[in-house]
Structure 1
Amino acid sequence: MVDKFVGTWKMVTSDNFDDYMKAIGVGFATRQVGNRTKPNLIVAMDEQGTVSMKSQSTFKTTEIKFKLNEPFEETTADDRKTTTVVSLENGKLVQKQSWDGKETNIEREIADGKLVAKCRMGDVVAVRTYVKEA
């Protein structure tokens, strides 16, 4: 099921991301950079079922490697230390990050050939859309 996410995805739109970053506690300077950055998302999976997701931009490159439904420690692009679990729910890749008693979800799905990432923190939702590179 993860197969449909595998590939290199280029960000084309980002809506409400500043409000989302504010909601998770990202400082002003980092938000300014985050709002201007359009990272590529590179998703791969090996024979053992380990998935890697790399967010690559001129500002910063971060990568996480995980197996579905297995918690792992993640250091996010804004340097939060989270306990993260990624699962497959109704064809969506759902990433749940927990830190300091808070939780945020990033829900990724393929819709109309695009990868749509919905970042949720409480009632704040940011939507980032990617197209697959040939």
Structure 2
Amino acid sequence: MASMNDFIGRWKLVQTENFDEYMKEIGVGLITRKAAAHLKPILEIRLDGETWNFDQFSTFKNTKLSFKLGEEFVENSPDDRTYNSLFTFENGKLTHRQNKIKENHKSSVLTTWLENGKLIQTYQSGDVICRREWERE
């Protein structure tokens, strides 16, 4: 079973399913959705002491997310939504819970794990599930 340390490295996005539907579900605007749909970002996962860093690089926007496992924090999404977020790691899977703060926002659960050498992520909000696959760069 994978440990969090197995996630460390640089990953390139190779496949996405239902990303536009997911973004629509959480309220991302049309122009941003269309731009994001064509991106092939690089995800860099690092560990600095007890702090995990998930940095995503693309031609559209770069994002940085830092967290400690088991510690809730306020997260600002790339499109300026705000969440109470919590990361946990259990049975080889990293779970990222984004709990809405504002009533008009939507909560999500993002799950990350390794499968056949690929980093797999699912993003779920309501009944909509997106799947993304990453390969080591």
Work out whether the TM-score is over 0.5.
yes
Structure 1 segments of 4+ aligned residues over 6 angstroms from their partners: none
2:15 to 6, 9, 13: 13
Partner Cα separation in structure 2 for residue 85 and residue 4 of structure 1? 20
Amino acid paired to 1:67:
K
TM-score by length of 1: 0.94
TM-score by length of 2: 0.92
| Mapped pair 1:34 → 2:36 | yes
Aligned residue pairs total 132
After superposing the two structures, state which structure 1 stretch, 101-110 or 54-63, moved more. Answer: 101-110
List alignment gaps of at least 5 residues for structure 1.
none
Q: What residue number does 1:83 align with? A: 84
Q: What CA deviation, in whole Å up to 9, does each residue of 1:77-131 have, x standing for no partner? A: 2221111111102211111111224310110000000000101011110001000
Q: What residue number does 2:128 align with? A: 124
Alignment identity in percent?
A: 39
Partner Cα separation in structure 1 for residue 79 and residue 132 of structure 2? 17
Q: What residue number does 2:115 align with? A: 111
List alignment gaps of at least 5 residues for structure 2.
none
Amino acid paired to 2:26:
I
* Secondary structure of 1:128's aligned partner: strand
Provide the aligned C-alpha RMSD in A.
1.0
Amino acid paired to 1:40:
I
Partner Cα separation in structure 1 for residue 122 and residue 90 of structure 2? 14
Partner Cα separation in structure 2 for residue 4 and residue 37 of structure 1? 25
